[in-house]
Chains A and B, each alone.
Chain A
Amino acid sequence: MDFSSLNPVAMIVLLVGAATPILLAALGELVVEKSGVLNLGVEGMMIIGAVTGFIVATETASPYAGMLGSMVGGALVAMIFGFLTQFLRSNQVATGLALTLFGLGLAALLGGDYNGIKPPPTPRLNIEGLSDLPIVGELLFSYDPVIYFSIFLVAAVWYFLNRTRGGLILRACGENHDAAHSLGYNVVMIRFGAIMFGGACAGLGGAYVSLIRVPQWTEGMTAGIGWIALAIVVFASWKPWRAILGAYLFGGITILQLSLQALGISISAAYLSMTPYIVTIVVLVIMSADRKRASLNAPACLGRSFHASN
């Protein structure tokens, strides 16, 4: 078998593109979970972002306006979840699942008139001199802006969670909401804010699919990547940097199996596709087994509803 035709640089460029929507959604969900909330509606928020981003982009002829629109769209549907779980104290698991059902339906309804339209293209970075460099140029300086933004966002989320007071408070809500409450923090509003942020990130991830990765709108086009984003958060053990690793690993496995097939190597796609999930479980077990380390990562109040006792 001739492996020389496998171009590692091109494969990396491809896998970054496949991984970015997952990474964006996972970052949002990571912040949500750090605040102690489990939102299983990522897929619903992503598809809403995909359609609202597409609509705004085609109407304004600006992909950037579309991306803003997708963040607003994702945040708006996340608000439904936030309102129900935080103010009306509904169960998070059930509400998240309902959000996915609702989001998929609403997106199809909104996008009905936008089938078969090409959105305005998103330009890739092109820096005179740098982008043309062999290998390095392609590997580092030739992506679309959202990819750079996603990396920036990883750093920003890390900085916020670990180096700012706001991040400390948010994590406190996730670790022990009663203690955070008695220190005078408004747990409900903090979580509500985190949920909106999660929605905006998921929405942008959806728009990445509909505006850049496959520039078109079709019903159900996110095809389950919202659920993968949930897995990535766990795989990353709630650490933003590891979320990059996880998302790129997932993207890498998809691209690798397609590329190997294109090379003429027959592989079993189904077995290969299940490995990331098994790896995620193994990572989770290793992390949880060491209780000291586990408590540093997994938010203790994850999924638990907060009732102020006064």
Chain B
Amino acid sequence: MKFTKTLATAAAMGLALSGAAFADEDPIKAGFIYVGPIGDLGWTWTHDQGRLALEAEYGDRVETSFVESVPEGADAERVMSQMARAGMDIIFTTSFGYMDPTINVAEDFPDVAFAHATGFKRADNVATYSARFYEGRYVIGEIAGAMTETNKIGYIASFPIPEVVRGINSAYLAAKSVNPDVEFKVVWVYTWFDPGKEADAANALIEQGVDVIMQHTDSPAAMTIAEEKGVYAFGQASDMSAFGPNAQLTAILDNWAPYYIDRVGAVLDGTWESTDVWDGIGAGMVGIAPFSDNIPADVQARATATIAAIASGEFQPFTGPINKQDGSVWLAAGETADDGSLAGLNFYVEGIDGELPQ
């Protein structure tokens, strides 16, 4: 719905005109809209780290601002419009639920660049960006498979969306490749952020004999429980070793700084255009935290080699032969999954127990 159409367009044109006259002196203004508080230590926190890196990189040439805890929907649309009106040159909208609002507002502000994280709708002035976290999950899956003694790996999952399902499949394939007896126990908590529930899920998994925990939820709750119970876990989004100095084996790091620096740089020299960026370990968007000393040297060496192979593009985590859970063929030997099928992934690969909630 164009709840902001005519007025907003008029305002945008006014701003664009006045903006042009001062183009050389004014710093580039970059706005960020966050779905959670910057203190969540998870998703939003990593985006805000990217924003801070942007400021550090360009100094006076860029001015950033943000609004945190913006509900998805009408409120997001209003905040984006307000930012566009306030003369932002580029606006990063950092949650999947901002997809339609971003498209709506972008129609009203053709001169403002928008970049929407994790979505699939683009326009001339709406770029999308996302990270190939499944590459990182392959690396930690390999480590998990080597480290587990009970052969049971716990996985705390948020919602059964392709992003999360990709991560489970990738980690499972990796673990299986080094440990054929490995078993995955997936618990869906249906929330991105609920420390109490995440902690309970971690506890429930540990009671089931799990000795390595992975998570696709935002809070460091599972890490603190892992530390307490003496099992291993992996940091999510940021290095969580403060919460689990012994428990954390490594962490998948969301590193948005390179993307933000690159895109704002493009705005600065006037070369920005709508792109679809889906970067992984190679481009530095997905990082792997330093390995814990608890990981034996040979496992570390193999993980380092895997990271290098993925970074160089030599290896793709979804390389056939891979069957679907029901035994039918997904990828033939040597075949790799294309981005389209990865984007809509909605099935488990063969070997994972349990039913994917549909």
**A–B proximity contact (CB within 8 A):** yes
Whether B197 sits at the interface, judged by CB under 8 Å, is: yes
Interface residues of B in 170-194 (CB under 8 A from A): 185-191, 193-194
User: With a CB–CB cut-off of 8 A, which chain B residues contact A258?
Assistant: 187, 189, 197, 200-201, 204
Closest 10 CB pairs of A and B: A258-B204, A266-B355, A214-B195, A219-B37, A10-B207, A264-B354, A214-B221, A223-B194, A214-B199, A261-B187
Checking B190, B195, B201, B225 against A221 with a beta-carbon cut-off of 8 angstroms, the contacting residue is: B195
Return the chain B residue nearest A258 by Cβ. B204
Please name 30 pairs of A and B residues whose Cβ atoms are closer than 8 Å in the assembled complex, sorted by A: A5-B209, A6-B208, A10-B207, A14-B200, A14-B203, A14-B207, A18-B196, A18-B200, A21-B196, A108-B37, A116-B220, A118-B224, A118-B242, A209-B195, A213-B196, A219-B37, A219-B40, A223-B191, A223-B196, A225-B196, A255-B203, A258-B187, A261-B186, A261-B188, A262-B154, A263-B185, A264-B354, A266-B354, A268-B357, A270-B190
Judge whether A223 and B204 touch: CB under 8 Å.
no
Whether B41 sits at the interface, judged by CB under 8 Å, is: yes
What's the nearest-Cβ distance from chain B to residue A125, in Å?
15
User: With a CB–CB cut-off of 8 A, which chain B residues contact A225?
Assistant: 196
Return the chain B residue nearest A270 by Cβ. B190
A187 to B224, CA, bound (A): 46
Whether A220 sits at the interface, judged by CB under 8 Å, is: yes
Whether A218 sits at the interface, judged by CB under 8 Å, is: yes
Whether A254 sits at the interface, judged by CB under 8 Å, is: yes
User: With a CB–CB cut-off of 8 A, which chain A residues contact B221?
Assistant: 214, 216
Judge whether B195 and A255 touch: CB under 8 Å.
no
Whether A259 sits at the interface, judged by CB under 8 Å, is: yes
Whether A111 sits at the interface, judged by CB under 8 Å, is: yes
Residue total for A at the interface (Cβ-Cβ under 8 A): 41
Given A118-B242, A118-B243, A266-B355, does the pair A11, B207 have CB atoms closer than 8 Å?
yes
Whether B353 sits at the interface, judged by CB under 8 Å, is: yes
Judge whether A259 and B207 touch: CB under 8 Å.
yes
A14 to B236, CA, bound (A): 24
Interface residues of B in 67-96 (CB under 8 A from A): none
User: With a CB–CB cut-off of 8 A, which chain B residues contact A118?
Assistant: 224, 242-243
Given contacts A14-B200, A112-B39, A270-B190, 19 further A-B contacts (CB under 8 A): A5-B208, A5-B209, A6-B208, A7-B207, A14-B207, A17-B203, A213-B196, A214-B219, A216-B221, A218-B41, A219-B37, A258-B201, A259-B207, A261-B204, A262-B154, A264-B185, A265-B354, A266-B355, A269-B190
A265 to B196, CA, bound (A): 22
User: With a CB–CB cut-off of 8 A, which chain B residues contact A264?
Assistant: 185, 353-354
A17 to B206, CA, bound (A): 15
A269 to B191, CA, bound (A): 11
Whether A309 sits at the interface, judged by CB under 8 Å, is: no
Q: Which positions in B face A, CB cutoff 8 Å? A: 37, 39-41, 154, 185-191, 193-201, 203-205, 207-210, 219-221, 224-225, 228, 242-243, 353-355, 357
Judge whether B40 and A218 touch: CB under 8 Å.
yes
Main secondary structure of the interface of B (DSSP, over half): mixed
User: With a CB–CB cut-off of 8 A, which chain B residues contact A137?
Assistant: none
Interface residues of A in 1-37 (CB under 8 A from B): 5-7, 10-11, 14, 17-18, 21
Interface residues of A in 198-257 (CB under 8 A from B): 209, 213-216, 218-223, 225, 254-255
Checking A17, A116, A220, A263 against B41 with a beta-carbon cut-off of 8 angstroms, the contacting residue is: A116
Whether A310 sits at the interface, judged by CB under 8 Å, is: no
What's the nearest-Cβ distance from chain B to residue A232, in Å?
15
User: With a CB–CB cut-off of 8 A, which chain B residues contact A215?
Assistant: 224, 228
A264 to B191, CA, bound (A): 19
A222 to B195, CA, bound (A): 8
Judge whether B203 and A216 touch: CB under 8 Å.
no
What's the nearest-Cβ distance from chain B to residue A9, in Å?
9
A254 to B200, CA, bound (A): 8
Return the chain B residue nearest A217 by Cβ. B39
A186 to B286, CA, bound (A): 64
A261 to B225, CA, bound (A): 18
What's the nearest-Cβ distance from chain B to residue A14, in Å?
5
A269 to B158, CA, bound (A): 12
A117 to B224, CA, bound (A): 11
User: With a CB–CB cut-off of 8 A, which chain A residues contact B209?
Assistant: 5
Judge whether B208 and A262 touch: CB under 8 Å.
yes
Return the chain B residue nearest A121 by Cβ. B228
A117 to B243, CA, bound (A): 8
Return the chain A residue nearest B356 by Cβ. A266
Interface centre among B186, B190, B194, B205 (most CB of A within 10 A): B194
A290 to B285, CA, bound (A): 64
What's the nearest-Cβ distance from chain B to residue A48, in Å?
16
Judge whether A214 and B196 touch: CB under 8 Å.
yes
Given A14-B200, A213-B196, A255-B200, does the pair A219, B39 have CB atoms closer than 8 Å?
yes
